[in-house]
Amino acid sequence: MSHHVDLSNLSKVYSTPKGPAVIVKDFNLRLAKGEFVTLIGHSGCGKSTVLSMLAGLNDITGGAIILAGKELVGAGPDRGVVFQSPSLLPWYTAYQNVMLGVEQVFFTASAAERREIVEYYLTIVGLGESMHKRPAELSQGMRQRVGIARAFALKPKMLLLDEPFGMLDSLTRYELQAVLLKLWRENRITTLMVTHDVDEALYLSDRVVCMTDGPEAEVGEVLEVKFPRPRERQAVLDHPDYYQLREQLITFLEDRAHKHRPAPVPNAPVVTRSPAAEPTNRSAPALVGRV
Amino acid sequence: MKSFKLDWLILPLLGIALMMLAWQVSSKTWAKELPTPQKTWEVSKDYVIKPFERRGEMDQGILRFTWYSLVLVAKGYALALLIGTPIGFCLGLSKAFTKTFDPIIQILRPVSPLAWLPLGLVLFLGAGKQASELGALFTIAICSMWPAVLNTAVGVRAVPQDYLNVAKVLKLSRWKTLTKVLIPATLPYMFTGFRLSLGIAWLVIVAAEMLTGRPGVGGFLWQEYNSLIYEHIILCIITIGLVGFVLDRLMSLVESRFKTA
């Protein structure tokens, strides 16, 4: 068994009054055990749909997912999920939120052992002091830390992250990326993360999988990210390959992701461009220019 | 108008004073049978000053009557919540259940307590002496349960998908999903329903007592009307209003506790 996770010909079709709407078509992806893979693409391209099918929160229309040799049916705590919103139950403290999952998975463990697990993971994500606070008393970043602790505390076979830092400010995002990387390094859990942040993808992953735009989204391009681990953010930024990889990703997102769109007429936009027209241009030249 | 110091106290008192004036003027002019405020107080003061005195079956202090009514309301209301809340959950969770029973609920909901009570008495005819109490309980329960039912259903449908996803991912059992996710998430809605239900239960008690002649504020009111002691009608109305107001405030307190959770 060489692959830990195998998504083969995965498809998602919704039937609508106007006929079937194909969101994801023949999506193929394999993850080795312990690998960190990022799924990147434009908003609404179907990357979250792939993730939620993996999580078992969305029915699979076609194809199959095999995790550790078994075909997945439905949701379960063998996959730790971190959602975009922290999704904590507001009537429970951080501790109780993590405990809810730990009780499910470690039902044979003693109460003391379970308490140890919960406290360990909450301390590691930096909530040792505030583990008995309710989500309302925690900042958005701290809530997401609880979400991460909850996912890791389940000792899942796989970790699914759905734009986990999308709602955070960039400083908090950097902090949490480091927390995530540390936990991942210690536990080596196979991870699939959805994001649309190119830098985040490069900093965290072993491979970046670019998805084409939906409908009928599929794998567009796969980039190997071979920065040495353990990674320091500055070292990654200073790496000679960094900007080349970054540009490759952005170029894909700017041009090749739109496989269904007609190619832009050469020169025409340049001639007519005015500051007012800039926002509709998906700011492509600006981004590439910065690189 | 600009707010000033103590306006929270002075303005309501002003409102009451104006109301008393209108009452006074009415009883002196177009409503000769309406007792004036002074007369009402004189005739009623025995019932207010010695609120728990018991002189006879239908001649007792006003708080004693209120107590009888409250006990009956508490029983009927408890029955309404015990039946209504689970129905609300079923409505919120199952589309088939909603399709099956929603039309019936919508038809039964607007029926007046005055219409239910005779049916309640008929249902418990075999109970003998207890018939009037059981009939009243039946009426209170069936009239007051709808807000609890409907608000619970709305609350269950409004549980954020995020919370349900957590339950799904953790593979919580149905029981755990209910007790740890659905019920806590629905509580604020449930308590809004409970508060509205309590208001209705208190409305119904008076009608029920009037028709059955049970001792209580409503029964007393009806008896004094028949005995032509109109002052006591006003005493009862004020008491009913005050008690209803206090009940609503108390439920609001409980409700707001759950709102912040």
Provide the residue ranges of all domains of chain B, joining segments of one domain with +: 59-260
Looking at the complex, does the CB of residue A87 fall below 8 Å from at least one CB of chain B? yes
Q: For CA atoms B147, B148, B154, B158, give the dihedral sign.
A: positive
Chain B CA closest to residue A54: B169
How many domains is chain A built from? Answer: 1
- Interchain CB distance below 8 Å, A100 and B180: yes
Gap between the Cα atoms of B78 and B69, Å rounded:
14
pLDDT in tens, B181-238: 999 999 999 999 999 999 999 999 888 888 888 888 999 899 989 999 899 999 999 9
For B59-260, CATH gives: 1.10.3720.10
**A76: which 2 tokens?**
């379960």
Parallel, antiparallel, or unpaired: how do β-strands A36-40 and A190-195 relate? parallel
Q: Tell me, what's the pLDDT at A260?
A: 54
Residue A143: inside a domain: no
Per CB-CB distance under 8 Å, the chain B contacts of A149 are none
Count contacts between A and B (CB, < 8 Å).
44
Give the structural domain span for A72: 5-78+156-290
- Interchain CB distance below 8 Å, B162 and A55: no
SS3 call for A65: strand
Gap between the Cα atoms of A47 and A64, Å rounded:
16
Question: Which of B162, B181, B185 comes nearest A83 by C-beta?
Answer: B162
ipTM comes to: 0.80
Residue A125: inside a domain: no
User: Which residue carries 């952005």 as its tokens?
Assistant: A250
- For residue B203, the distance in angstroms to the closest alpha carbon of chain A comes to 34
Answer whether A24's CB lies under 8 Å from A59's CB.
no
Looking at the complex, does the CB of residue B165 fall below 8 Å from at least one CB of chain A? yes
Looking at the complex, does the CB of residue B166 fall below 8 Å from at least one CB of chain A? yes
- Interchain CB distance below 8 Å, A91 and B184: yes
Residue from B161, B165, B170 whose CB has the most chain A CBs within 10 Å, to mutate? B170
Gap between the Cα atoms of B98 and A198, Å rounded:
47
Distance of CA A270 to the CA centre of its chain: 35
User: Which residue carries 């005015």 as its tokens?
Assistant: A274
- Interchain CB distance below 8 Å, B172 and A104: yes
Answer whether B139's CB lies under 8 Å from B188's CB.
no
Residue A106: inside a domain: no
Q: Tell me, what's the pLDDT at B47?
A: 84
Answer whether B220's CB lies under 8 Å from B58's CB.
yes
Closest CA to A208 of A227, A232, A234, A235: A227
* A19-31: strand order across its sheet: A19-31, A5-16, A62-67, A70-71
**Residue-level pLDDT, tens digit, chain B, 261 residues:** 566 777 888 999 999 999 999 999 999 999 888 999 898 898 888 888 888 888 887 788 889 999 999 999 999 999 999 999 999 999 999 999 999 999 999 999 999 888 999 999 899 988 888 888 899 999 999 999 999 999 999 999 999 999 999 999 999 999 999 999 999 999 999 999 999 999 999 999 888 888 888 888 999 899 989 999 899 999 999 999 999 999 999 999 988 887 655
Looking at the complex, does the CB of residue B258 fall below 8 Å from at least one CB of chain A? no
Residue A15: inside a domain: yes
**A150: which 2 tokens?**
């909850």
Looking at the complex, does the CB of residue B168 fall below 8 Å from at least one CB of chain A? yes
- Interchain CB distance below 8 Å, A87 and B166: yes
SS3 call for B124: coil
Chain A CA closest to residue B261: A91
Per CB-CB distance under 8 Å, the chain A contacts of B162 are 83, 85, 87
CATH number of the structural domain spanning residue A198: 3.40.50.300
Question: DSSP character for A14?
Answer: E
Gap between the Cα atoms of A59 and B211, Å rounded:
58
Query: What kind and span of H or E run contains A15?
Result: strand A5-16
Looking at the complex, does the CB of residue B259 fall below 8 Å from at least one CB of chain A? no
- Interchain CB distance below 8 Å, A89 and B172: no
Residue A89: inside a domain: no
Residue A55: inside a domain: yes
- Interchain CB distance below 8 Å, A89 and B166: yes
**Residue-level pLDDT, tens digit, chain A, 291 residues:** 467 899 988 889 888 888 888 888 888 899 999 999 999 988 878 888 899 999 999 899 988 899 988 888 888 889 999 988 889 999 999 999 999 999 999 999 999 999 999 999 999 999 999 999 999 999 999 999 999 999 999 999 999 999 999 888 989 999 999 999 999 999 899 999 999 889 999 999 999 998 887 677 778 788 888 888 888 888 888 898 899 999 988 888 887 666 555 444 444 444 433 444 334 434 333 333 333
- For residue A101, the distance in angstroms to the closest alpha carbon of chain B comes to 6
User: Which residue carries 């969101």 as its tokens?
Assistant: A23
Per CB-CB distance under 8 Å, the chain B contacts of A155 are none
Describe chain B by its helix, strand, coil percentages, rounded to 5.
80, 0, 15
Residue A280: inside a domain: yes
- Interchain CB distance below 8 Å, A100 and B261: no
Closest CA to A164 of A150, A185, A148: A148
Residue A97: inside a domain: no
